[in-house]
Structure 1
Amino acid sequence: MDFRQIEAFVSVYRLRNFSRAGKALFLTQPTISNHISDLEIELGVKLFDRSSREVMPTDTGDIFYQYAVNLLETRDCAISSLNQHNRQIEGRLEIAASTIPCQYLLPKIMMGFQKINPNIKFLIHQGDTNQVIREIREKKYQVGIVGTRTDEDKLDYEILTRDRLVLIAARDCIEPADRPCIAVEGLLKKQFILRERGSGTREEFETALKKKGIDPDMLKVVAEMNNTEAIKHAVSEGLGVAVVSSLSVGNELKSEAFQAFSIDGLELERSFYLVTYRNRPLSPNVAAFREFILNYYGNNTC
């Protein structure tokens, strides 16, 4: 058993696909398959059920997964400890992030952290907010960045920065009398493009509606999408209106591809959080990243 096999196993377990696992590790699909087959032969068990379209872990695969993660984390800790004499942080740094922070916050943070630690290699896993929180809770990843929080005692949330949700619409979609602020009652007349369920953006918007006594099911939903860029393109084509993070629309507003509006009476301010599993020791790489990103945003803790 070697670490290449273990890395291949963990990647396939998380992505449920040999080809995607290969891309994540910069290996070919046959190489991933060989690593898994060799590992199964050595362990004497089947780790994955390959009979369906999606590769699913067996019961023994589920058991082995946490040991595999611990082995990789122990390796990373050992490498970092051996390099502490020159204060180098190097090797893999895995971060789970929901859509908006992954696309609009992380790139600049990664650039700053990599300048200080040039031997670091980022592995970024994007999902919706609920998926990221679930993966931190299940200890698949040590650190995540999300746009909303859940009330539970297993996780720690630390505020990074604030965000504002805005309504975006094609230039001829909103009547002049409504600009630059739209009455909340007017939303029921619009066709909406929503993020997928589990999205922090969608949860914050629907929570704000409920606080105003509006059932989100009353909205005329013409489409649901799990990609912010796709939503913006659909809005610019006039398919409908959408509520998105203000961080995601700066370039489009400058080019006048569409317009952004506030919604009168709705509380659409939110925070982005760094989330970790409470009292779980962090690897040196993750600990260094946590310190860097909190310092970058001013270290506001909740």
Structure 2
Amino acid sequence: MNLKQLEAFVCVAEGKSFSAAAKKLYLTQPTVSSHISSLEKELGVRLFVRTTKDVELSSEGELLYDNARRMLQLEKNILRDFTQKDLKAANKIIVGASTVPGQYILPQILSLFSRTYPGNQLELREADSMEVVRLVQDGQVEIGFTGTTGSDPTCVFEPFYHDRLVIITPNNDKYRQFEKTGFSIEQLYEERWIVREEGSGTRKEAERYLQDMGVELNRLEIVATISNQETIKKSVEAAMGISIISGAAVEDYVEQGSLLRFSLGDQEVYRKLYMVWSKNHKPGKAARLFIRFVRELYAYL
């Protein structure tokens, strides 16, 4: 067994095609087939089930897949840490971030870091919180920034920022009357709601706090599910409904008078934002420097 065979196996598994794997690896299709055949012969199992449409992993292939991906990622980690031929690549930091940290927290951090350590190149990939965790697990990003944690014991979740959750409404007479009294639970049932997508840290934490307040989530009237924060704010401004959103994301609209902002409960409600990295895919030197920088920047918040 060798890494070339495992690389061919993973490419076929992910592309569900021998020809696509050959194209991606710049090999001939017979070469890819030979790698898979040798691997199957050595392990004594069939790794793929061929159908009329595509190629699927067998049960034994599924068992091999995760281990093969980890071995290939370990090879990449070794090359990254010890190969200095491409200095720019060696100092490149790949960061994944969910919407709130990616759009409203990280821009200032990235700017300060790039001015403090100008020799590093930053790449930012945005997704929802659960997808960012998956990218970290798979080794596609070195550090993730999310609005929630996961259950994977191979991932480290470190709080770095406290984000206030607020209710936002249109700025009109109906909602200005609640500025002194706030929203009762019964009033929440009378409202139309715009919510974030499944996998969003904001949605997960908002639902948890509402349940803690005694709100029955199935009684809320949800009129839209929207992933983009700016679209949510504009939809609320247009009186489509009300929403729960990050306080960091709504400052501009509140200052302009376009929206009203309310506490989620009797007291201010904060949720933690997290840095996350994988124990299986150790962050490189530049990424570890970035983690220390963020820690020091928010040490007293």
Instruction: Indicate whether the TM-score tops 0.5.
Output: yes
Provide, for residues 195-248 of structure 1, a one-character-per-residue CA deviation record: whole Å limited to 9, x for no partner: 001111001111111112222121110100111111111111111111100000
Cross-structure match for 1:115: 115
- Shift in Å at residue 284 of structure 1? 0.8
Cross-structure match for 2:207: 206
Cross-structure match for 2:82: 78
- Count of residue pairs brought into register by the alignment: 266
Residue identity in the other structure for 2:184? A
Residue identity in the other structure for 1:144? G
Query: CA 1:265 to 1:294, structure 2 compared with 1: closer, same or farther past 3 Å?
Result: same
- Shift in Å at residue 34 of structure 1? 10
Moved more, 225-234 or 182-191: 182-191
TM (normalized to structure 2)? 0.74
TM (normalized to structure 1)? 0.74
Query: CA 1:42 to 1:276, structure 2 compared with 1: closer, same or farther past 3 Å?
Result: farther
Cross-structure match for 1:270: 271
- Shift in Å at residue 262 of structure 1? 1.2
Whether 1:36 aligns to 2:24 is yes
Provide, for residues 49-93 of structure 1, a one-character-per-residue CA deviation record: whole Å limited to 9, x for no partner: xx99xx99977995765455444433331246997xxxx995321
Residue identity in the other structure for 2:147? G
Matches within 5 A, 1:146-185: 146-151=146-151, 153-172=153-172, 174-180=174-180, 181-185=182-186
d(CA) in 2 for partners of 1:109, 1:40: 45
Residue identity in the other structure for 2:254? L
- Shift in Å at residue 299 of structure 1? 7.5
Query: CA 1:189 to 1:280, structure 2 compared with 1: closer, same or farther past 3 Å?
Result: same
d(CA) in 1 for partners of 2:251, 2:176: 22
CA contact (8 A) 1:94 1:123 kept: yes
Moved more, 64-73 or 159-168: 64-73
CA contact (8 A) 2:93 2:142 kept: no
CA contact (8 A) 1:96 1:126 kept: yes
Matches within 5 A, 1:1-302: 36=24, 38-39=26-27, 44-45=32-33, 65-79=69-83, 91-151=91-151, 153-172=153-172, 174-180=174-180, 181-265=182-266, 268-278=269-279, 281-298=282-299
Identical-pair percentage: 22
Mark the runs of 5 or more structure 1 residues left unpaired by the alignment: 1-5, 17-32
CA contact (8 A) 1:191 1:241 kept: yes
Moved more, 235-244 or 145-154: 145-154
Q: Secondary structure at the match of 2:80?
A: helix
d(CA) in 2 for partners of 1:173, 1:149: 39
- Shift in Å at residue 296 of structure 1? 1.0
d(CA) in 1 for partners of 2:143, 2:117: 18
Cross-structure match for 1:19: none
Query: CA 1:190 to 1:116, structure 2 compared with 1: closer, same or farther past 3 Å?
Result: same
CA contact (8 A) 2:97 2:144 kept: yes
Moved more, 64-73 or 222-231: 64-73
Q: Secondary structure at the match of 2:121?
A: strand
Query: CA 1:120 to 1:72, structure 2 compared with 1: closer, same or farther past 3 Å?
Result: farther
Query: CA 1:79 to 1:132, structure 2 compared with 1: closer, same or farther past 3 Å?
Result: same
CA contact (8 A) 2:169 2:237 kept: yes
- Shift in Å at residue 182 of structure 1? 2.0
RMSD: 3.6
Q: Secondary structure at the match of 1:153?
A: coil
Residue identity in the other structure for 1:137? Q
d(CA) in 1 for partners of 2:55, 2:248: 37
Query: CA 1:104 to 1:145, structure 2 compared with 1: closer, same or farther past 3 Å?
Result: same
Q: Secondary structure at the match of 2:177?
A: helix
Q: Secondary structure at the match of 1:276?
A: strand
